[in-house]
Structure 1
């Protein structure tokens, strides 16, 4: 006798979204996730080590690690000879801070890009969507035009936070922090701040100050110091680490606010907190590097093509690969056209725009 139809178990196994392989038969993603993250970390370590050696004066990788060990007090215990003052200064004072700053900025922008695209469900979202870049630029241009560049990082950070407050206030006054209202409010604030930037440049800039302002607006880590490393890498490790731990929460936003609320997520409160974290991190990064585009836009899309849309893997992997990408973009910006050096923002746009066009072409048949 056969069992009633209502008590029979279906013979087909559950299929994971986006794949034709039943979830029950798929191998555990744990080892693969660890392999991706370890591989990306190794790529970043190699990228930093090699990038420091490149320049007008070529250095071996061994000199880079000897300089690091020397300044950490490990040369004695490891039995290493002390590096000569000239190559040591070249590594420790000039190239290594710049490379590490680029890595910190790239990682932070990539993580912020993933969060913004998930929160707004907008594939064109990036860390600057809330008007943060234009707000930071307005603060920076104001102090550059006044000739007080020493407070530029503080002014840029303050400008980014003021832009955030204006965006959240405008979106809230319009009826709440929905994705569409947040995007539109950010665009309005961004355009207003951009107009302010143009006015300040027109009114105050004279002589060589144009070049300083243009270099900052296009993005550059040429003047990075160990203070820049502390700000960018510290903010990325702390705030970026917090954002990277919200993968499950961001997954709940995938199918909209209603679905997220049904899963027990306090939607508006969670969105507000995440937006503030993104804004503070972006403001800290922009205050040290200027506006560097396409990193937070392109890297998340490129990583999704490889590992899928699970934010628990997408967030940390995007951060690691974003760091490597910006390290090499800045290395190309200072070496390809030597002795001239171009802003790294020009290089990221030159690489990012064609890559983004390719990603759009590849996804032309998808919804």
Structure 2
């Protein structure tokens, strides 16, 4: 392509758009499920035999999710909007016990976006998809006038299969279960905060945990057949999802403060800005609830991955107190306990 920036012509349906799609997008996402003779169809075609094969013939369920990504800034230490879009969608499938298979990619491009930036983002998406073992098989591209978007927005849809022997649900939670997290809290939210404005913080000192979780989760499922449920801790952090667990499971969940894995850089940023790391977004962390008898096996399975070397047991499920509704609390080293409420709003805007 001769242009160096996105123009409205790239969304017109004419020659410039055809060039953009063929030379910049399809060339990056080429895969066996999108051969040349199907590349310009309005849909991707997946043989049902492939879905059946991936479910191991066990009559599993089809899993499907969708998400949109509008993060600011679009490039950050540890990733960019492209890797975030792929990993975020893969993770939403994986925490339900699904094997992620296929993704769509919808691009909304602002007039004036440097094509060099688009290329970096597309390549990042392809690398993240390859790492997760998924294929980007269909998509859409729109261009909007300058000022009607912020550089680039990405929408994705993910499809996977859940074998019939996996039935994860908050309804499975039992008193006495324990909570396992696969690593340190708040890395992504802290990274995005450090990138904004002049806080006097080394912008490379904190890195996002943007990462696909399907391999870690598969290892955990194999090691812990009794696992109850899982959730990736994105917007609202672990405070949001654990409050959901407590309410849905009609239980009390108690965190142990000195067991929470937290990097010194993230702790320092939170103290500087008055933020609570329990509410900070993560993009490569999940919380699982599992029987106490399987806790050590789960830790061992996760800690075999370099990204999960700080995995930890961070709390337990208790019987709700008769005078209180199901709650989330945190107990400190001195034995005092405080309520961790549902976040009222976002601590940080546009973190994904």
TM-score (normalised: structure 2): 0.26
Larger Rg, first or second structure (1 or 2): 1
Higher normalized helix content (fraction of residues): 1
Larger RCO (CA within 8 A; separation ≥ 6):
1
